[in-house]
Chain A
């Protein structure tokens, strides 16, 4: 990395605080990441110097705001290797992006008797929009299962995707299992059957290089706040020919061509899908977040996370009574690690870790069908990002050992 870990830590002042008298170890990055000072400053500076509504005024501030907003779109385009900024739509977040596709493309193209195929490890955000669409249209919702170690079962995918399938919606990286799915292969499979592939990149874009050309997905959604940007901004990538044929998602300002008393026409892409005043500062913050990630290098981000997983996963597996869900080999695991300690409820465990200053998530992780599939009520989840230190990994392991002793797990 160009920056040392200490320099990186200095960019995230929030990480240097103490929580419950201990130095904060923030391991809830799959829920949301922290923002570096450069992102915060960029947002502040926008409001202090350039703030105006975009695409609407002829005055200087409006011009500056528009140019900042569109510069952010170009940064996103480059980052995910989209061909054209017309294919980059700003949304409220990943959930909003996925709902957009279900409500427009799905509404238009799914009929009774059709199939929508998703995987059992989807986050509710990439599940409920399809479930409700299927219910409404009389279509069938089918689930691709997992291999015993938590990978997408490709044989099952080949069975489930048929000529009746109109949409395949699949996470690129699981927010529970810590696995990466072969999105490219599944997109190919979907295309062979005339279906489109919708990728949920919420846990992928912040952590690895994603390339829309290489993946050849039709739609791809992700959130800003999981990649150092403010909350309330997200992206939907869509292939231009598909977006062009889709009806608008919402109606109102910005997204119109002309409006008469009885009819309207729509603005060109991407504005057709950006109704109302957008989260301009959020988009600019996302642009700044991408700038920051580029100074580190997204490949280095992935390498650093892999180093942390190599360090922590074997240590976790060595704790007697601790179960890790998903792959047990570090090289097949992202920085998301779900686990349980004996029969201890993950909420009790999370409280114990919090007392040690270690922030993890506990619960069903917005993946209740996956929890049922695995026969679990809930898990604890530690999720790493490039700014976590080796010491953070050690602190997690130590805190787990303390908790194990406190709750007398495995000592009977």
Chain B
């Protein structure tokens, strides 16, 4: 039956994150923020990150709308990177993007992603890869801006 294949994509953990998203809501203050959308489908994410004095991601929050996959992915992403150093988070974003297009990764790198690693199954649904990667792209873009600012500071 056709829909049994859907179980590979819409696993319980994904449906759970979509129904009960973690870290959803805007932050009162943030150090890095970005709005990204996917013009082909209208999915949108408004991501805010607060890097604390300790240099770690203290808080992360998002608002936006989109399909089950994009919403679950955003929830899982925020959960996975909270408390991490931005450089670690960027490495995870790279792992995720690579994973989504089928590149091989070490077991350790994948485990780092936490719940988000279940989205490996997105490879079987090429039309939906962008849905899953939107949140991670947003993270990457938001954090890279921060990295650039640090570079400037260093030079000063």
> What residues make up the interface of A, taking CB atoms closer than 8 Å to B?
20-22, 344-348, 351-352, 354-357, 362-364, 368, 371, 377-378, 399, 402-403, 406-407
A residues in contact with B10, CB < 8 Å: 348, 406-407
The answer to whether B42 touches A378 (Cβ under 8 A) is yes
A residues in contact with B106, CB < 8 Å: none
Residue of B nearest to A354 (CB): B127
Residue of B nearest to A349 (CB): B67
Number of interchain pairs (Cβ within 8 Å): 55
The answer to whether B42 touches A406 (Cβ under 8 A) is no
The answer to whether B42 touches A356 (Cβ under 8 A) is no
The answer to whether A363 touches B42 (Cβ under 8 A) is yes
B residues in contact with A355, CB < 8 Å: 2-3, 5-6
Q: How many residues of B contact A (CB 8 A)?
A: 19
- A20-B5, A356-B2 given; name 17 further pairs at CB < 8 Å: A20-B2, A21-B2, A22-B2, A344-B68, A345-B67, A347-B128, A347-B131, A348-B69, A351-B6, A352-B3, A362-B41, A363-B40, A378-B42, A402-B1, A402-B3, A406-B6, A406-B10
Provide 12 A-B residue pairs closer than 8 Å at the C-beta atoms, listed in order of the A residue: A344-B68, A345-B68, A346-B67, A347-B131, A352-B6, A355-B2, A363-B40, A368-B42, A371-B42, A377-B65, A403-B3, A407-B10
The answer to whether B6 touches A364 (Cβ under 8 A) is no
A residues in contact with B3, CB < 8 Å: 352, 355-356, 402-403, 406
**Within the complex, what minimum Cβ distance (angstroms) separates A329 from chain B?**
29
Tell me, in angstroms, the Cα distance from A352 to B125 when the chains sit together.
11
Tell me, in angstroms, the Cα distance from A21 to B127 when the chains sit together.
18
The answer to whether B9 has its CB under 8 Å from any CB of chain A is yes
A residues in contact with B67, CB < 8 Å: 345-348
B residues in contact with A345, CB < 8 Å: 66-68
Using known A-B contacts A345-B67, A351-B9, determine if residue A357 contacts B2 with beta carbons closer than 8 Å.
yes
**Within the complex, what minimum Cβ distance (angstroms) separates B90 from chain A?**
27
The answer to whether B65 touches A351 (Cβ under 8 A) is no
Tell me, in angstroms, the Cα distance from A22 to B41 when the chains sit together.
26
Pairs of residues from A and B, 9 with the lowest C-beta to C-beta distance, nearest first: A345-B67, A356-B2, A347-B67, A355-B2, A348-B68, A348-B67, A355-B5, A402-B3, A406-B3
B residues in contact with A344, CB < 8 Å: 68
A residues in contact with B2, CB < 8 Å: 20-22, 355-357, 399, 402
**Within the complex, what minimum Cβ distance (angstroms) separates A365 from chain B?**
11
Tell me, in angstroms, the Cα distance from A8 to B65 when the chains sit together.
42
Residue of B nearest to A376 (CB): B42
